[in-house]
Amino acid sequence: MPGNPHPYVGMWVTADRRIRQELLANGRYEEERDGRKRAYTGRYTVTGTHLDYQDDLGFTATGDVREGVLYHEHLVLYREEGPS
């Protein structure tokens, strides 16, 4: 994804801020859960508004962005604006 990063690149957080998922411009993601940094890491691909995740441990997940909100399996994540 060199050059122009995908518009979904950046930090996404749950409303209670317990889960933070960063979509990196290089096609990787890092997820923090309850303060545990890099609780989950892996790769993601984007097709339109759909995301496919492949965790480094081998499991897969999906997500969809609708009206600026990321629905990732059972999670609802919002774009974090400004410094984290």
Region 47-64 average pLDDT: 96
Give how many domains the chain has, as a whole number: 1
3-state DSSP percent of the chain in helix, strand and coil, to 5: 0, 60, 40
> Is 54 within the bounds of a domain?
yes
Quote the domain boundaries for residue 63.
10-79
Give residue for tokens 């009206």. 67
Q: How confident is the model at residue 3 (pLDDT cuts 50, 70, 90)?
A: low
pLDDT of the residue at 84:
46
CATH code of 45's domain: 2.40.128.290
**Inter-residue contact 41 to 50 (CB < 8 Å):** no
Region 18-47 average pLDDT: 96
pLDDT higher than threshold 50 for residue 58: yes
Amino acid at 6: H
Region 55-81 average pLDDT: 96
pLDDT higher than threshold 50 for residue 10: yes
> Is 4 within the bounds of a domain?
no
